[in-house]
Amino acid sequence: MGRRVFAEGRGPVLTDLDGNQYLDFAAGTLTQSLGHGHPEVVEALTAQARRLWNVHDSATPDRAALLELLARLLPEQLDTYALFSTGAEVVEAALRVVQATAEPGRNRIGAMRGGFHGKTTGARMLVHWDIGHQSFAGNSVLGYSAYCYRCPLELTRPSCGLRCASLVRRHITDKPNTSALVFEPVLGAAGVIVPPPGYWEQIADACHASGVLLVADEVLTGGGRTGTFLASEQFGVEPDLVTLSKGLASGFPFAVLAGRADLLRHPAASESGAYASTYAGNPLGIAAARATLEVIERDRLLERVRVLGELLHDRLSALAARFDNLGDVRGLGLLYGLEFVTDRQSRTPAPHIARAVYATALDLGLRVALGGHILRLAPPFTLDQPLLDEGVGLLEQAMERVLT
């Protein structure tokens, strides 16, 4: 696989040094909700670059405007915000709030199988699978994800009765020493695993009943990727804390911790400087986020994500009907996972096929994201139907070349 050297991005299209063009169905790294180089974001960043770059965590007019925008876009209970620069940094901040506010004795944190929360030490404590370095389980406890295509309990729906959810209750929420459950509503890095109806509702109810905080890691799903501003909204979950990053600022490093005021402003969590770091909430990141979110709100892009998402679902289901090696297609909004297998009967993961399809698609001019035997598709929200069809057409050609 030749290594591409990308030189430029415009909207959904990347250009490499040799002048070849690619439709970017990975949206950078799921960051480019508005595509690459959106003119209003470029303008906002350029104007900000002339004005002010860093005043630590001081107030600025743009910061106030961004907080108002977040209050409009996020569910009502999430009315307090702290600003950061990366996904891992904001996950660490959420863990600090949990630990500072937890009742004595509640010294464990719940996490989910297949969850990914970043590579810093606190975040790694919640990651129990091999992500290229040894995991470090620390003092977190693990719950069953609703990975129905490969049910860890070897059950099938609907006769399973969502046993995975009742086991989460038994292993995590019934334990008096658990302070919080940190979860991705839709598992992203593990391959876009979308739980069935009822799963999160049951777990959320159990958490509320036993005083376990719900910390939704929406670093990947937040900002509209699944068709609602938070994916949690579609699963009937009202989180106490939410982390957001990738889709917020068009690829500029930026992250938000949103939460209930009584947690974020709790005296034990909010002493002076508690939410500050060198680049946390810097004016350039704020400018990029504000411009990005204003366009998402003004142009009603969440509706567009839902409409395009349905088309994408139909197109990808047609591919699954045609190619036996495409074992499962699943997703929500403009976030899809394609799981490649050696055959449908055994469901044996086929990373070599996924890699070959990925490389061939790139040769043909389509960039997607590869992880093991799963390809992820997450195009910009600003795509139109002809380009969506063109992208899926390129993927189909790649699969024809590899599989027939």
Ligand X SMILES: Cc1ncc(COP(=O)(O)O)c(C=O)c1O
Binding site for ligand X (CB under 6 A): 86-88, 91, 116-118, 184, 188-189, 217, 219-220, 245
* Helix, strand, coil percentages, rounded to 5, for the chain: 40, 20, 45
Provide, rounded to whole angstroms, the least separation between the CB of residue 7 and ligand X: 24
Pairing outcome for strands 80-84 and 255-259: antiparallel
The end-to-end CA distance of the chain, in Å, is 20
CA distances from 333 to 115, 143, 194, 227, 300 (A): 20, 25, 11, 5, 14
Closer Cβ to ligand X, 315 or 371, answer by number: 371
Closer Cβ to ligand X, 74 or 249, answer by number: 249
Closer Cβ to ligand X, 259 or 396, answer by number: 259
Closer Cβ to ligand X, 199 or 323, answer by number: 199
Closer Cβ to ligand X, 280 or 392, answer by number: 280
Provide, rounded to whole angstroms, the least separation between the CB of residue 184 and ligand X: 5
Provide, rounded to whole angstroms, the least separation between the CB of residue 337 and ligand X: 13
Provide, rounded to whole angstroms, the least separation between the CB of residue 252 and ligand X: 12
Provide, rounded to whole angstroms, the least separation between the CB of residue 188 and ligand X: 5
364 SS3 class: helix
Amino acid at 380: P
Which residues are 214's β-sheet partners?
181
CA distances from 233 to 18, 201, 224, 352 (A): 43, 11, 11, 36
Closest CA to 190 of 158, 155, 217: 217
Closer Cβ to ligand X, 188 or 387, answer by number: 188
Closer Cβ to ligand X, 219 or 287, answer by number: 219
Residue nearest to ligand X (CB): 87
Say how far apart CA 296 and CA 225 lie, in whole Å: 11
Provide, rounded to whole angstroms, the least separation between the CB of residue 120 and ligand X: 7
Burial profile 143-174: b = 16 or more Cβ within 10 angstroms, e = fewer: bbbbbbeebeeeeeeeebebebbeebbeebbe
Provide, rounded to whole angstroms, the least separation between the CB of residue 80 and ligand X: 20
Say how far apart CA 155 and CA 164 lie, in whole Å: 9
Amino acid at 182: V
Closer Cβ to ligand X, 248 or 326, answer by number: 248
Provide, rounded to whole angstroms, the least separation between the CB of residue 253 and ligand X: 8
Closer Cβ to ligand X, 178 or 245, answer by number: 245
Which residues are 336's β-sheet partners?
331, 377
Q: Phi and psi (nearest 5°) for 41? A: -75, -40
Amino acid at 284: L
Amino acid at 73: L
Closer Cβ to ligand X, 48 or 245, answer by number: 245
Are 244 and 31 in contact by the 8 Å Cβ rule? The answer is no
Provide, rounded to whole angstroms, the least separation between the CB of residue 387 and ligand X: 25
Provide, rounded to whole angstroms, the least separation between the CB of residue 400 and ligand X: 31
Closer Cβ to ligand X, 240 or 396, answer by number: 240
Say how far apart CA 167 and CA 173 lie, in whole Å: 9
Please give the radius of gyration of the chain, using alpha carbons only, rounded to the nearest integer: 21
Say how far apart CA 299 and CA 293 lie, in whole Å: 10
- Residue 227 DSSP one-character state: S
Say how far apart CA 276 and CA 58 lie, in whole Å: 10
Provide, rounded to whole angstroms, the least separation between the CB of residue 33 and ligand X: 15
